[in-house]
Amino acid sequence: MIVAVCSLSGAPGVTSLATAVAACWPSTPLTVPVLVEADASGGDVASWYGIDLGREQKGLVPLAAASRVPVPVSAGAWAEAGVVNAVAAGSPVLDHAVELPGGLRVVAAPADPLEAGRAVAALAHNPALLRAGRVTVLDVGRAVPGSAGASLVRCADIVVVLADPGDVGHANRLRVCAPVLASLKEDGVRVGLAVAGTCPHPDQEVSRLFGLPVWACIPHDPAGAALVRGEHRPPTRLRDRWAAWRSQRRDPDGMEWMPLVKTAKSLAELCDDFSGLGLDGQGQNTTAVSAA
């Protein structure tokens, strides 16, 4: 399954949201979520975590090169054949991923936009490689219609559009791109909004205006955003300190006191439910996930 996270105007935290969703995905022995930075403007994760892609010989560029060869046997087929490490054997995406602290696997993009753009374009010619694993979360960044990133979006099963309807530019871009998003739904792709920023309109009105369900309301959470970037930043707001204390009494290793983590977990579970329900895009009721 491919879950694409993108924006239509700028990229208001697309990488942070995609990383958090992949990290919070409900994984199983045969469901190892992998984050793929497919942003043609360049990647951030390698810089955040100090990854030397050249030394590691992993990342988006080698994955794009591997997309030029036939996709190997799927992980499910390996498992049926009795291969013990079925996930790794059947997923070239995992072969090109590095493991971040905490266990998240990431195929990081180079920071150079020219190099990243070429890799995204090559991958867009053979996106079937992304299905060799069980769950691939794509960070597409800004999905410009007609671009290689937009081509990858069309290959996804679920598309999360991060937008700020309270911003005039974002709202106008959503209206202009409504036919493109509608065509995705007609092709059987589930499309929903993740609302960022301060929106003056309720979720139901946003859904009615743009013809898309609101799946998540992304909170302003500096501590959660810092955690996603690999930084440790203790909570400063009184309510955050109180929430952290209460949460850590129940689960010392838990991070759900952070609004961003809590929201990303709910969004990941929602997308995971979609993969199991097998409902078409037209029959989906609006589901809002929010954290304050």
Does residue 288 form part of some domain? no
Domain range for 228: 2-283
How does strand 105-107 pair with strand 33-37? parallel
pLDDT digits (tens, 9 = 90+) for 234-252: 656 665 554 554 555 455 4
pLDDT digits (tens, 9 = 90+) for 181-235: 888 988 889 999 999 877 777 888 888 888 899 999 998 888 888 888 888 666 5
Does residue 105 form part of some domain? yes
Does residue 291 form part of some domain? no
Does residue 292 form part of some domain? no
Does residue 149 form part of some domain? yes
Domain count, the chain: 1
Q: Above 50 in pLDDT, residue 86?
A: no
The mean of the pLDDT values for the chain is 79
d(CA 228, CA 224): 6
List b or e across 200-220, with b for residues whose CB sees 16 or more CB atoms inside 10 angstroms.
eeebeebbeebebbbbbbbbe
pLDDT digits (tens, 9 = 90+) for 155-185: 999 999 998 887 788 888 888 888 888 889 8
Does residue 290 form part of some domain? no
pLDDT digits (tens, 9 = 90+) for 91-132: 678 889 999 988 899 999 999 999 999 999 999 988 888 886
Alpha carbons within 13 A on the beta-carbon side of 228: 26
Q: Which CATH number does the domain housing residue 152 bear?
A: 3.40.50.300
Answer yes or no: are the C-beta atoms of 53 and 155 closer than 8 Å.
Answer: no
Percent of the chain with pLDDT over 70: 74
